[in-house]
DNA sequence: CTAGGGTTAG
């Protein structure tokens, strides 16, 4: 920049330059300032403002420069609009590509769609870069069916196009579609590279698809695909999320360089497995290796503390975070509230929430609500319930949670008033869903859905499990698979129903550890925990259950995670 | 001067 400023001064002071050379020099200076990692976008802006009629190259440099800066803004879109208004330069395929990328980064769908129509108007829609830009815009905005339409319309699909579509499916958790497309891509004769594989591995992680994840890992090795920083991080996350925390650590140890995300992924992995010592040791090692922790790293550390009741350590991390200038986000507050509630410090949790610098969200209120289940904290219940229902009057989860707490206290009038409120607001319960991977295919189990081709066989196994649970002296769980029950009973049986289905099906077919992922609205309640223990013991099978928060590993009827309550 | 990738609280 220092040298460039000197050149800039010489250009400005040189009276012999003709106007075209002058403009050309300024646009070269501009593009350096806007695009080089050593550049300065504000300097670029000043240079740009001094060019009377910037050409398309200069506009493009500015648009791209502004979409490269750290905190995303609408500046590239504003520049694009100014370009059209100025009337001196028409957008070309580069312009459209850059501004579409800027739109995807901030999920500006409407603007992106307008740019799509400009692309047609200026005849740029045949450019492969514009096509990929559009595909990626829809994918990033989670408009996956529009993305698929764009994908279908691209005649010659190259590696980048396939990767973008697979990544789109993977990001929103449409795992089978992502993996299906990966197979189609190979059938079409396109070889995947490390970028494609990251999305495929991430899809396996989201699905808890261990068998498939392992196959993909060996595929990467077999094809000689470069295992770079990002790919290794994806592998760590996949093994951690599929229950093989030891394998995750192996990948981590083999890495030649590790950035903040790699460390954070490993720390969060340990924390969700209840391996608190490993998580916190890794955190210190990270600091010693001079890698800067970010907000996710601290979330992992706080998570570890919350899961093991380390209140003092959690509070020290909280302060350390402030010292490093990292502003706590909603998630960090949520983690602290959970930490305090689990340790039985409900009053502290409540006053912590009242001191928050921004209004707490529904998750925080729900965490508090679960924290005040103990009788002595009952007085705050109504207050929290009001906040929750005001914030999310249409979320069935809140009504079910409240109704269950009232039932716990035998306040049946309040239970029925919750039911009444739900009916008045026309709220439907979102069915629980579990999934399990067998032979590389992810089976989803949704409450009330009996369409699985092997449903009859599953019922036989369920009955058998039910019988074994009864024989070990426990009451069998309520299940609408086995009996017809009315709607209200069905609702309370949601959790049991789908998890049991998944477990039963897993025991039928696979000898690998059974990983069950609970997707929505469920928690791994004490009842499920008990039944899983019995099943693990009775069937002599290792079962790994992943609820939304962490892993529980059952061997011979014992749960090895040191969960803290 | 063009397009695709990893971690995130209950």
- Residue-wise pLDDT tens digits, A507-551: 877 777 777 765 444 456 666 777 788 888 888 888 877 776 677
Quick check: A302 and A320 in contact, CB under 8 A?
A: no
Residue A565 in this model has a pLDDT that exceeds 70: no
Closest nucleotide to A96's CA, by C1' atom?
A: B2
Separation in Å, CA A156 to CA A97, A131, A229: 18, 11, 30
Question: Nearest residue to B7, CA vs C1'?
Answer: A265
- Interatomic separation, CA of residue A4 and C1' of nucleotide B10, rounded (Å): 53
- Interatomic separation, CA of residue A87 and C1' of nucleotide B2, rounded (Å): 22
- In sequence order, the 6+-apart residues with CB closer than 8 A to the CB of A399 are A418, A419, A421, A422, A427
- Interatomic separation, CA of residue A69 and C1' of nucleotide B8, rounded (Å): 22
> Does A498 or A298 have the greater pLDDT score?
A298
Per-residue pLDDT tens for A25-72? Answer: 888 899 989 888 888 889 999 999 988 888 999 999 999 999 988 777
CATH fourth-level superfamily of A329-428:
Tetratricopeptide repeat domain (1.25.40.10)
Q: How far apart are CA A19 and CA A8, in angstroms?
A: 15
Q: How far apart are CA A218 and CA A230, in angstroms?
A: 17
Residue A188 DSSP SS3: coil
Percent of chain A's residues with pLDDT above 90: 55
pLDDT at residue number A339: 95
Question: Nearest residue to B5, CA vs C1'?
Answer: A195
Tokens for A305, please give them: 């503390």
Question: Nearest residue to B9, CA vs C1'?
Answer: A331
Average pLDDT, whole number, for chain A?
87
Only one residue has tokens 């925990």, namely A529
Only one residue has tokens 């319309």, namely A153
Chain B positions under 7 Å from a protein CB?
Answer: 1-10
- Interatomic separation, CA of residue A250 and C1' of nucleotide B4, rounded (Å): 28
The secondary element (H helix, E strand) that includes residue A198 is helix A194-207
- Interatomic separation, CA of residue A258 and C1' of nucleotide B4, rounded (Å): 22
pTM of the full structure: 0.87
Separation in Å, CA A181 to CA A138, A144, A153, A219: 17, 14, 16, 16
Provide φ and ψ at A451, rounded to 5°: -85, -5
Question: Nearest residue to B10, CA vs C1'?
Answer: A367
Ramachandran region of residue A54, left (φ > 0), alpha (ψ -120 to 50) or beta?
A: beta
Question: Nearest residue to B1, CA vs C1'?
Answer: A61
Question: Nearest residue to B8, CA vs C1'?
Answer: A296
Residue A414 DSSP SS3: helix
Per-residue pLDDT tens for A426-455? Answer: 887 766 677 777 777 778 787 677 888 888
Provide φ and ψ at A559, rounded to 5°: -95, 125
- Interatomic separation, CA of residue A423 and C1' of nucleotide B10, rounded (Å): 25
Q: What is the arithmetic mean of pLDDT over A227-251?
A: 95
Closest nucleotide to A331's CA, by C1' atom?
A: B9
- Interatomic separation, CA of residue A94 and C1' of nucleotide B1, rounded (Å): 7
- Interatomic separation, CA of residue A345 and C1' of nucleotide B1, rounded (Å): 58
Q: Chain-centre distance of CA A5, in angstroms?
A: 43
Closest nucleotide to A300's CA, by C1' atom?
A: B8
Closest nucleotide to A296's CA, by C1' atom?
A: B8
- Interatomic separation, CA of residue A135 and C1' of nucleotide B2, rounded (Å): 15
Tokens for A128, please give them: 């492969």
- Asked which of A10-24, A115-129, A458-472, A504-518 is least confident by mean pLDDT, the reply is A504-518
Query: Which of A265, A347, A279 has the alpha carbon at shortest distance from A317?
Result: A279
CA angle A444, A151, A142 (to 5 degrees): 55
Residue A367 in this model has a pLDDT that exceeds 90: yes
Provide φ and ψ at A455, rounded to 5°: -60, -35
- Interatomic separation, CA of residue A263 and C1' of nucleotide B1, rounded (Å): 35
Only one residue has tokens 């999320």, namely A241
The secondary element (H helix, E strand) that includes residue A151 is helix A144-153
Quick check: A32 and A39 in contact, CB under 8 A?
A: yes
- Interatomic separation, CA of residue A130 and C1' of nucleotide B6, rounded (Å): 25
Sign, Cα dihedral of A200, A280, A561, A368: negative
> Does A498 or A523 have the greater pLDDT score?
A498
DSSP state of A375: G
Closest nucleotide to A192's CA, by C1' atom?
A: B4
Closest nucleotide to A401's CA, by C1' atom?
A: B10
Provide φ and ψ at A558, rounded to 5°: -105, 140
Closest nucleotide to A548's CA, by C1' atom?
A: B10
- In sequence order, the 6+-apart residues with CB closer than 8 A to the CB of A456 are none
Quick check: A146 and A170 in contact, CB under 8 A?
A: no
- Interatomic separation, CA of residue A153 and C1' of nucleotide B1, rounded (Å): 27
Closest nucleotide to A92's CA, by C1' atom?
A: B2
pLDDT at residue number A496: 64
CA angle A447, A449, A451 (to 5 degrees): 150
Long-range CB contacts for residues A547-553, cutoff 8 Å, separation at least 24: A547/A518, A547/A522, A547/A523, A548/A518, A548/A522, A548/A523, A549/A272, A549/A523, A550/A271, A550/A272, A550/A273, A550/A274, A550/A307, A551/A243, A551/A245, A551/A272, A551/A273, A551/A274, A552/A524, A553/A243, A553/A273, A553/A513
Residue A480's pLDDT band, with cuts at 50, 70 and 90, is: very low
Q: How far apart are CA A400 and CA A492, in angstroms?
A: 8
Closest nucleotide to A363's CA, by C1' atom?
A: B10
pLDDT at residue number A209: 85
Only one residue has tokens 């789908």, namely A498
For every residue of A209-277, DSSP letters joined together read -HHHHHHHHHHHHHTT----HHHHHHHHHHHHHTT-HHHHHHHHHH-S---HHHHHHHHHHHHHTT-HH
Angle between helices A41-50 and A19-35 (to 10 degrees): 160
Q: Which residues pair with A251 in a beta bridge?
A: none
Quick check: A165 and A178 in contact, CB under 8 A?
A: no
Per-residue pLDDT tens for A255-313? Answer: 999 999 999 999 999 999 889 999 999 999 999 999 999 999 999 999 999 988 999 99
- Interatomic separation, CA of residue A483 and C1' of nucleotide B8, rounded (Å): 41
Quick check: A301 and A279 in contact, CB under 8 A?
A: yes
Closest nucleotide to A272's CA, by C1' atom?
A: B9
Provide φ and ψ at A515, rounded to 5°: -105, 125
- Interatomic separation, CA of residue A552 and C1' of nucleotide B4, rounded (Å): 35
pLDDT at residue number A529: 76
Per-residue pLDDT tens for A321-355? Answer: 999 999 999 999 999 999 999 899 999 999 999 99
Closest nucleotide to A336's CA, by C1' atom?
A: B9
């Amino acid at each position: 920049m220092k040298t460039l400023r000197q050149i800039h001064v010489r250009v400005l002071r040189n009276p012999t330059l003709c106007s075209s050379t002058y403009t050309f020099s300024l646009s070269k200076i501009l593009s350096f300032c806007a695009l080089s990692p050593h550049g300065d976008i504000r300097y670029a802006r000043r240079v740009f403002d001094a060019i009377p009629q910037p050409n398309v190259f200069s506009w493009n440099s500015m648009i791209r420069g502004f979409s490269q800066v750290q905190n995303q803004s609408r500046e590239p879109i504003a520049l694009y609009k100014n370009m059209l208004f100025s009337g001196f330069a028409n957008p070309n395929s580069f312009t459209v590509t850059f501004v579409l990328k800027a739109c995807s980064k901030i999920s500006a769908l409407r603007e992106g769609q307008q740019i799509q129509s400009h692309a047609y108007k200026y005849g740029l829609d045949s450019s492969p870069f514009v096509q990929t830009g559009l595909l990626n815009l829809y994918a990033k905005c989670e408009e996956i069916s529009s993305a698929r339409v764009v994908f279908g319309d691209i005649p010659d699909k190259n590696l980048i196009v396939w990767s973008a579509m697979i990544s789109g499916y993977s990001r929103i958790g449409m795992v089978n579609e992502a993996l299906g497309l990966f197979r189609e891509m190979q059938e079409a004769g396109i070889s995947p590279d490390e970028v494609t594989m990251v999305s495929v591995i991430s899809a396996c992680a989201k699905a808890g698809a261990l068998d498939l994840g392992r196959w993909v890992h060996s595929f990467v090795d077999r094809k000689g695909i470069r295992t770079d920083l990002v790919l290794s991080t994806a592998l760590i996350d996949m093994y951690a999320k599929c229950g093989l925390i030891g394998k995750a650590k192996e990948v981590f140890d083999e890495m030649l360089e590790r950035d903040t995300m790699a460390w954070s992924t490993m720390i969060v992995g340990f924390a969700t497995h209840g391996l608190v010592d490993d998580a916190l040791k890794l955190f210190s090692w990270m600091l010693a290796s001079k890698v800067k922790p970010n907000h996710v790293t601290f979330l992992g550390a706080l998570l570890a503390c919350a899961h093991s009741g380390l209140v003092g350590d959690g509070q020290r991390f909280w302060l350390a975070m402030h010292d490093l200038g990292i502003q706590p986000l909603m998630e960090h507050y949520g983690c602290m509230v959970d930490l305090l509630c689990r340790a039985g410090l409900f009053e502290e949790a409540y006053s912590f929430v009242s001191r928050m610098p921004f209004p707490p969200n529904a998750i925080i209120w729900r965490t508090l609500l679960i924290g005040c289940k103990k009788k002595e904290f009952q007085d705050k219940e109504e207050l929290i319930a009001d906040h929750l229902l005001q914030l999310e009057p249409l979320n069935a989860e809140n009504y079910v949670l409240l109704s269950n707490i009232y039932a716990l206290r035998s306040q049946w009038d309040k239970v029925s008033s919750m039911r009444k409120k739900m009916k008045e607001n026309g709220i439907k319960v979102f069915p629980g869903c579990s999934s399990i991977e067998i032979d590389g295919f992810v089976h989803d189990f949704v409450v009330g859905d009996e369409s699985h081709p092997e449903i009859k066989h599953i019922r036989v196994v369920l009955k058998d499990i039910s019988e074994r649970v009864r024989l070990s002296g426990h009451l069998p769980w309520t299940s609408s698979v086995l009996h017809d029950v009315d709607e209200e009973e069905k609702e309370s049986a949601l959790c049991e129903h789908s998890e049991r289905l998944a477990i039963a099906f897993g025991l039928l077919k696979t000898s690998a550890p059974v990983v069950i992922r609970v997707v929505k609205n469920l928690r791994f309640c004490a009842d499920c925990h008990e039944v899983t223990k019995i099943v693990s013991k009775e069937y002599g099978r290792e079962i790994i259950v992943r609820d939304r928060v962490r892993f529980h590993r059952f061997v011979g009827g014992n749960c090895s995670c040191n969960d803290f309550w």
